[in-house]
Amino acid sequence: MKRRDFIAGAAAAGLVGASSYAFGNLNTFTPANPALPYDLVAVRGGEPEAMFDKAIQSLGGMQAFVKKGQKVVIKPNIGWDASPERAANTNPNLVKRIVKSCFEAGAKQVYVFDNTCDNWTNCYKNSGIEKAVKDAGGTLVGGNSKGYYQPINLVRGKRLKDALVHELILESDVFINVPVLKNHGSADLTISMKNLMGIVWDRGYWHRNDLHQCIADFATWRKPTLNIVDAYRVMLRNGPKGVSVDDVITMKQLLISADMVAIDAAATKIWDPKKDPATVPYIARAHELKAGNMNLSQLNINRITM
């Protein structure tokens, strides 16, 4: 996309100035996870691998999350049969670097999967993620069979009381959630909490029974060890699949946090600095359910410019 087209598209979507979001003056409070030095790390201006390396280093390195001999599951967005340039799926270069980082920290096994919307073999291949994972030594697993999924209960859920969750998540020592930030026709934005729809079997139930509440309810279940939001390329419209590269702008940003609600609130402000995260219903409802903290003014954020 040419620079003049980028500016025009950004203005139309309320995104001019978005890249400066995470670097303003922010107050601090006691981290939700006291073991981590920051509630959230925001990086801009680099390639996906380099931004990830900077962010994870500021949290103590991947060894702070992955221990020797552990089983790691990484859940990118691989839902769509689309090339990386369309930003419908997580950036494959980022996925590759995360897989390598887990092995460097001592992981015994690193699995990657998604319950895709389009044909899963085409999604894995054409997203570039299949090659990225294999090149990094990881293992791809399909999410297309109900036999992979086991029942769990959501004792704090208001609308969603139970679900079938992929057995890899249930058996993992470390669960890393890696969504791409993009527009979504039904959920407004796809970020961390929305990405977890790819670890359950019956997504249709969520769509039929108050999608936003179901997303928030599921966020009260097992929290990912780490959430990494890919905002390198961002789909502005026609999400979640997109139509073409004309729907996408290059923003070169990345967020990391153990708090899904916080990182989704922060990603909303990358999308549009004027947008209140509370206007995305599932973020506000997850905050009300105490699944995390959407109040960015209370977060201890490390801001890195490359």
Number of domain units in the chain: 1
> Which are the contacts of 8, defined by CB distance < 8 A and separation ≥ 6?
none
For residue 218, the domain's CATH number is 3.40.50
Which pTM value belongs to this model?
0.89
Confirm if 118 and 79 have CB atoms less than 8 A apart.
Answer: yes
Neighbours of 50 (CB within 10 A): 15
- How far apart, in Å, are the Cα atoms of 128 and each of 109, 143, 184? 21, 17, 22
Determine the pLDDT at residue 155.
Answer: 95
Confirm if 304 and 44 have CB atoms less than 8 A apart.
Answer: yes
Domain that holds residue 49: 3-305
| pLDDT by position in tens, the chain (length 306) | 333 333 333 333 332 233 322 322 222 233 456 678 999 999 999 999 999 999 999 999 999 999 999 999 999 999 999 999 999 999 999 999 999 999 999 999 999 999 999 999 999 999 999 999 999 999 999 999 999 999 999 999 999 999 999 999 999 999 999 999 999 989 989 999 999 999 999 999 999 999 999 999 999 999 999 999 999 999 999 999 999 999 999 999 999 999 999 999 999 999 999 999 999 999 999 999 999 999 999 999 999 999
What single-letter DSSP state applies at residue 197? G
Q: What is the CA radius of gyration of the chain?
A: 18
Amino acid type, 61: G
Confirm if 192 and 178 have CB atoms less than 8 A apart.
Answer: no
Confirm if 254 and 55 have CB atoms less than 8 A apart.
Answer: yes
